[in-house]
Amino acid sequence: MTGDDLARLIGRVATADRQAFVALYRETSPKLFAICMRILKDRAEAEEALQEVYVKIWQRAKAFASSQGTANSWLAAIARNQAIDTMRARKPVADELDSAYDLADPGLDPEKQAVISDEGRRIDTCMEELEADRATSVRRAYVEGLSYQELADQFGVPLNTMRTWLRRSLLKLKECMER
């Protein structure tokens, strides 16, 4: 099925066409499930995330504009964002407490814990100096492992622009960390 075919299906879904929704699900669910699995690495969570993805597609189909991107990238962005939200929601409470109180690994001596905490704070401070979209793209690339192409699609910019954002952001971070 071509991108134009998918765009037409999304247009029909926007009019609450259930048959179009079934066809869209049948055509796109394997790819969107793969995106959820790659991020979540847990089949049950990926299946739940996929259900939420299609709820959002049903609700947001009217907002799809083929002039702003392809149907595939729009669908993939919804799946990616839902999987990331699911991943964030599952973060154990203990991890949140550790990060809130800046608790390091108890196996490290106090000096090493202090150094690690200080480095983490410096990185956070330097990240705050970046523009919000640049900081988000750096986190998604180097923490979440998204590719340049995925980021370019997500932010709606050309691939080379995303490469430039990341390269310049890393240079700024390096400069900031050296101060």
The predicted model scores a pTM of 0.52
CATH code where residue 129 lies: 1.10.10.10
Identify whether residues 103 and 164 lie together within a single domain.
yes
Identify whether residues 63 and 133 lie together within a single domain.
no
**Cα dist from 147 to 105, 142, 144, whole Å:** 30, 9, 9
- Give the model's confidence band at 80: pLDDT under 50 very low, under 70 low, under 90 confident, else very high: very high
Position 118 pLDDT exceeds 80:
no
Identify whether residues 101 and 137 lie together within a single domain.
yes
Q: What is residue 150's predicted lDDT score, i.e. its pLDDT? A: 85
Single residue among 89, 114, 132 that ends a domain in this structure: 89
Q: What is residue 81's predicted lDDT score, i.e. its pLDDT? A: 92
Identify whether residues 79 and 123 lie together within a single domain.
no
Average of per-residue pLDDT across 129-155: 84
Identify whether residues 7 and 84 lie together within a single domain.
yes
Q: How many independent structural domains does the chain possess?
A: 2
Identify whether residues 63 and 128 lie together within a single domain.
no
Q: What is residue 79's predicted lDDT score, i.e. its pLDDT? A: 94
Using alpha carbons only, give the angle 80, 86, 88 rounded to the nearest 5 degrees: 105
Single residue among 89, 108, 143 that ends a domain in this structure: 89
Q: Which of 32, 1, 17, 26 is nearest to 62 (CA)?
A: 17
Identify whether residues 75 and 108 lie together within a single domain.
no
Per-residue pLDDT tens digits for 27-77? 999 999 999 999 998 899 999 999 999 999 999 999 987 777 889 989 999
Q: What is residue 143's predicted lDDT score, i.e. its pLDDT? A: 73
Identify whether residues 62 and 120 lie together within a single domain.
no
Identify whether residues 28 and 51 lie together within a single domain.
yes
Q: Please enumerate in sequence order all residues whose Cβ is within 8 A of that of 16, keeping only pairs 6 or more positions apart, or say none.
A: none
Single residue among 62, 89, 116 that ends a domain in this structure: 89
Strand positions, DSSP E, 12-171:
none
Identify whether residues 81 and 15 lie together within a single domain.
yes
State the residue range of the domain holding 20. 3-89
Q: Which of 42, 47, 53 is nearest to 79 (CA)?
A: 53
CATH code where residue 68 lies: 1.10.1740.10
Q: Pick the more confident residue, 114 or 42.
A: 42
What is the CB neighbour count within 10 angstroms for residue 138?
A: 19
Identify whether residues 148 and 114 lie together within a single domain.
yes
State both tokens at 122: 């410096």
Identify whether residues 85 and 156 lie together within a single domain.
no
